[in-house]
């Protein structure tokens, strides 16, 4: 949605929508407790979260129990007891490790995802990660090539399934924990009855355990035991005519197209003195700025200079970062960034791609955040983005309404696996941004509860538990 009278049909929006739409959107101890009761009351006994109740995750029944300690819920298993051999696939298929440095392999992965990955409920949009984005997302500092897992058909050698993991340093209060982020689970549309997905999940879990990693951070659009925080996506229209033409949004009540275009019009030029694109020599200063800023949040990444160089140094059509350099002292005082995630527009004669920017990490110390983000919108519009999306995490809520963002339809729930936080966090206490189509579809499809809502994503027929 780009305004309160509009509707969004983006894959992100529909994929992350909460099927229990009558539940309250706010987070916090009391609200999560009430939400848990409503979820449990709305489900028959046979449809409760039986799987999740056996897992090392926060449980609804434990809400408010202050005697439970924060930190790991279960100790790690001795590495000698971790399965050393890959899980067995059906006879017609074989495992491969996908070398994302290889142009040939990267193209195969891109083609599989482009044709078979996340779509919206009405088959109007499909995420279209570029090859450059995939290489960026899957090769952070310290990544394990063995966690980039593919499945080939033995006869044709065609890549028919894919799943990945990357390591991440996540700080929870004062403790830095190495976690896994699982992403890009995709099975070819014609093979979703072959039960490949459960085996793939077990295999990536096995490989994560072999590296002595036992925690994970993930998101889901459904309520599972138990969210550490609940956030919402907001959308700012940059090209309203196109968004309306392709069905991403609709014309508001009592609004004409010309009035809508005028409403969302932005200046041609930024207004902040010293506002410029980030460069390699800025990495140390940006790292200091970002670490200081993220330290105020309960859950946030623990970035060092290598991480900042990888994740935030601009890469064309992947990630954009801008900063403000004081013209008097040459100090870097402010920072903003967004990543690029386009969607293919399906079945439209006039448009083939929806170019979307997603707010990443933003730091304001001298320049007002509202002004900094307005300049960010200006450069995004100047670079032909159609829509700018942002979660209400960190301090984002302070600029959303003022800059004409509209709230989306769904909620995005954040979870930690095998790590307990005593009290649910407000979205403003969360300093972590995970890519839209991360572990969320994996976990939403892992839910034991089947909803009436159509889940037209990845492996819609395979409801399998995720373990790590």
Which residues are tagged catalytic? Answer: 434
Cα–Cα distance, 102 to 139 (Å, whole number): 12
Q: Tokens 């969004």 label which residue?
A: 8
**Residue 59 DSSP symbol:** -
Question: Are the C-beta atoms of residues 322 and 277 closer than 8 Å to each other?
Answer: yes
Strands 93-97 and 148-153: antiparallel
DSSP string for 252-291: PTT--HHHHHHHT---SS--STTEEE--GGGHHHHHHHHH
Q: Which of 300, 307, 296 is nearest to 228 (CA)?
A: 300
Cα–Cα distance, 408 to 380 (Å, whole number): 20
Q: Which of 271, 277, 110, 116 is nearest to 189 (CA)?
A: 116
Question: Are the C-beta atoms of residues 75 and 81 closer than 8 Å to each other?
Answer: no
Cα–Cα distance, 303 to 393 (Å, whole number): 18
Torsion sign across C-alpha atoms 364, 365, 369, 373: negative
Question: Are the C-beta atoms of residues 147 and 165 closer than 8 Å to each other?
Answer: yes
CA 209 to chain centre: 23
Q: Is the peptide bond before 226 cis (omega within 30 degrees of 0)?
A: yes
The strand pairing partners of 344, in sequence order, are 126, 353
In the three-class reduction of DSSP (H, G, I as helix; E, B as strand; rest coil), residue 344 is classed as strand
* 282-291 own/partner pairs: CB under 8 Å, 24+ apart: 282/323, 282/332, 283/308, 283/309, 283/313, 285/331, 285/332, 286/312, 286/321, 286/323, 286/332, 286/335, 289/332, 289/333, 289/334, 289/335, 289/363, 289/365, 290/335, 290/361, 290/363
CA angle at residue 264 from 398 to 13, to 5 degrees?
A: 65
Question: Are the C-beta atoms of residues 344 and 128 closer than 8 Å to each other?
Answer: yes
């Amino acid at each position: 949605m780009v305004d309160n009278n509009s509707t969004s049909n983006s894959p992100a929006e529909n994929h992350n929508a909460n099927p229990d739409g009558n539940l309250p959107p706010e987070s916090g101890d009391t609200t999560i407790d009430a939400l848990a009761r409503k979820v449990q009351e709305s489900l028959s006994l046979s449809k409760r979260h039986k799987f999740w109740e056996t897992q090392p995750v926060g449980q609804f029944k434990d809400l408010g129990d202050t005697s439970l300690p924060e930190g790991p819920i279960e100790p790690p298993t001795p590495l000698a007891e971790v399965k050393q051999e890959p899980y067995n696939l059906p006879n017609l298929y074989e495992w491969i490790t996908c070398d994302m440095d290889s142009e040939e392999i990267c193209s195969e992965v891109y083609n599989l995802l482009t044709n078979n990955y996340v779509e919206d409920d009405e088959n109007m949009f499909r995420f279209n990660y570029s090859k450059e984005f995939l290489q960026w997302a899957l090769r952070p500092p310290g990544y394990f090539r063995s966690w980039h897992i593919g499945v080939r058909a033995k006869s044709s050698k065609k890549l028919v399934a894919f799943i990945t993991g990357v390591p991440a340093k996540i700080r929870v209060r004062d403790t830095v924990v190495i976690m896994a982020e699982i992403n890009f689970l995709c099975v070819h549309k014609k093979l979703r009855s072959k039960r490949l997905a459960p085996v793939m999940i077990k295999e990536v879990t096995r490989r994560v355990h072999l590296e002595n990693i036992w925690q994970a951070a993930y998101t889901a659009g459904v309520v599972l035991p138990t969210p550490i925080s609940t956030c919402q996506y907001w959308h700012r229209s940059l090209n309203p005519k196109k968004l309306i033409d392709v069905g991403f949004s609709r014309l508001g009540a009592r609004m004409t197209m010309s009035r809508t275009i005028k409403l969302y019009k932005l200046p041609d030029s930024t207004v902040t003195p010293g506002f410029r694109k980030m460069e390699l020599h800025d990495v140390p200063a940006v790292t200091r700025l970002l670490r200081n800023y993220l330290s105020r949040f309960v859950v946030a990444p623990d970035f060092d200079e290598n991480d900042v160089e990888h994740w935030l140094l601009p890469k064309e059509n992947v990630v954009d970062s801008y900063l403000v350099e004081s013209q008097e002292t040459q100090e870097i005082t402010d920072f903003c960034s967004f990543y690029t995630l386009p969607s293919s527009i399906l079945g439209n004669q006039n448009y083939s791609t929806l170019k979307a920017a997603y707010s990443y990490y933003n730091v304001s110390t001298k320049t007002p955040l509202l002004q900094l983000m307005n300049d960010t919108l200006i450069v995004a519009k100047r670079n032909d983005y159609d829509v700018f999306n942002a979660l209400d995490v960190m301090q984002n809520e302070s600029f959303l309404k003022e800059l004409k963002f509209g709230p989306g339809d769904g909620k995005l729930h954040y979870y930690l696996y095998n790590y307990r936080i005593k009290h649910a966090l407000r979205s403003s206490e969360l300093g972590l941004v995970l890519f839209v189509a991360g572990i969320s579809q994996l976990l939403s499809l892992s839910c034991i509860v089947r909803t009436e809502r159509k889940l037209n994503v990845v492996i819609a027929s395979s409801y399998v538990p995720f373990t790590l």
